[in-house]
Amino acid sequence: MSDQYQPKPEHKFTFGLWTVGNPGRDPFGDVVRPPLKPTYTVKKLSELGAYGVNLHDNDLVPFDATAVERDNIVSEFKKALADHGMKVPMATTNLFYHPVFKDGAFTANDPKVRAFAIQKTLNAIDLGVELGATIYVFWGGREGAEVDASKNGPDTVKWNREAMNFFTHYVKDQGYDLRFALEAKPNEPRGDIYLPTTGHMLHFIETLDHPEMVGVNPEFAHETMAGLSFIHGVAQAYESGKLFHIDLNDQKMSRFDQDLRFGSENIKAAFFLVKFLEDVNWDGNRHFDAHAYRTEDEQGVWDFAAGCMRSYLILKEKARRFNEDAEIQGILAEIHARDAELEGLMAHYTAESVGKLRKIDFDPDTIAQKGLGYEKLDQLTFEVLTGVR
Ligand code: GLT
Ligand code: MN
Ligand code: MN
């Protein structure tokens, strides 16, 4: 293995405890791997070159743990983090596994369930902050419906909003350094999940009491399940200052949430994503929310984790080559040729610019005759990716 592709903490790669810890259960079959102890996962991931681990409250502390058990588990885990120089940059709440959440958490019809979900999340926020997290993810996997007669659409949006507002006020009151990242998914485990895409989330955020504290956590698999372009959603979130976190994995379109090893399916889409994050020098962690195939034993799990990071670094190197390729850059320079006068007119509405715009004598037929060279550009991209250039 070339050292160039060896992950290091400075690359800021993180994994959820639930990702490498995924035991391979699916709706048709039981676990295929024994559970991994969180402290062992910390050690193994640090040996592979990761920067940190992220977790749900119950990935670390069992749902029914007593306060004393909780404190013992947390102090043992903190020791493992310190021993291996690992961080917990992000935390989240498990609001989907226990049967109490079968009809949702913040959007369950039963107010007792909604209140319990808020109580559980307050405790989980405290846990995340205690471990050093500065990003808190909300993935509302059970916030949805199969029976549309069962819930009133606007109520579910309102309840979701009230919960988010409750938590932003709590975080401010506590003086925590914590921002929220909302993660969308179109379906699974619910027939339909509310706020199903990153675009829905971006609008919802603007309706909150403290929108500045809340951004998104787009996931490659989830946008792809919805048939959408992940990179376009990521770019929009970034441009709005809302790309607080990211879930990297891979996915075949229109299927169940596969959470595949990063780069394993859509190489070109993964490439443009990595290129984007690196070109804009995005300062977030490169978090992998994926898991090993069900066919794997523990060694396969570490092969999977190493593969996610190595593939990212390989694509990063390909992005560097793309950016330095004279022929590609020549085509891009032509495609991106600017027109300061016209762009100045379009940038801001004024009555004067309307007058000027109306006077320009465009020749649409001539403009339309120009070929744009995208065939060549895309072929050159393919050649960079396949190592021919
Ligand atoms: C669950 C889900 C992921 C979310 C996790 C965070 S939980 O594994 O499939 O996409 O990011 O709650
Ligand atoms: Mn995810
Ligand atoms: Mn997923």
Same domain, 45 and 192: yes
Is residue 183 in contact with ligand 1, taking CB distance under 6 Å? Answer: yes
At 2 the pLDDT is 57
289 lines ligand 1 (CB under 6 A): yes
Q: What is the pLDDT of residue 133?
A: 99
Low-confidence ranges of the chain (pLDDT < 70): 1-2
- 0.75 surpassed by pTM: yes
Please report the pLDDT score of residue 291 as a whole number: 98
> Distance, CA 57 to ligand 1 centroid (Å)?
12
Ligand 1 atom 5: the closest Cα is on which residue? 139
Residue at which a domain ends, from 300, 324, 348: 324
Find the 139 Cα to ligand 1 centroid distance in Å: 6
**Ligand 1 contact, 308 CB (< 6 A):** no
Q: Is the CB of 305 under 6 A from ligand 1?
A: no
pLDDT tens-digit series, residues 315-363 = 999 999 999 999 999 999 999 999 999 999 999 999 999 999 999 999 9
Chosen domain end from 324, 342, 374: 324
Q: Are 20 and 33 in contact (CB under 8 A)?
A: no
Atom of ligand 1 nearest to the CA of 18: 8
- Same domain for 204 and 303: yes
The reply to whether 320 and 334 lie within a common domain is: no
Catalytic residues: 56, 59
Q: Are residues 338 and 320 in the same domain?
A: no
Which distant-in-sequence residues (6+ apart) come within 8 Å of 71 by Cβ?
none
Q: Do 26 and 161 fall within a single domain?
A: yes
What's the CATH code of the domain at 117?
A: 3.20.20.150
Q: Are residues 181 and 208 in the same domain?
A: yes
Q: Is the CB of 219 under 6 A from ligand 1?
A: yes
Ligand 1 atom nearest to 139, measured from its CA: 12
Give the position, in ligand 1's atom list, of the atom nearest the Cα of 141: 2
Q: Based on the domain organization, do 238 and 378 belong to the same domain? A: no
* Residue to probe by mutation, ligand 1, list 57, 137, 183, most atoms within 8 Å of CB: 183
How many angstroms does the Cα of residue 318 sit away from the middle of ligand 3?
A: 26
Ligand 1 pocket, 139 CB below 6 A? yes
Domain boundary among 290, 324, 358: 324
- Nearest ligand to the CA of 140 is 1
Regarding whether 46 and 92 lie in a shared domain, the answer is yes
**What are the Cα distances from residue 296, in Å, to 46, 117, 291?**
21, 34, 10
Q: Is the same domain home to 375 and 312?
A: no
Quick one: 232 and 381 in the same domain?
no
CA of 63 relative to ligand 2 center, distance in Å: 21
Q: Considering every ligand atom shown, identify the ligand nearest to the alpha carbon of residue 260 and give its number.
A: 3
Shortest CA distance to 305 belongs to which of 286, 326, 290, 320? 290
Residue 55 CA to ligand 1 center (angstroms) comes to 10
- Dihedral of CA atoms 26, 69, 182, 139 in degrees, nearest 10, equals 20
Q: Is there an atom of ligand 1 within 6 Å of 220 CB?
A: no
Q: How many domains does the chain have?
A: 2
Pair (96, 183) in one structural domain: yes
Q: Examine the domain organization and report whether 47 and 182 are in the same domain.
A: yes
> Residue 301's pLDDT is what?
98
Domain that holds residue 342: 326-385
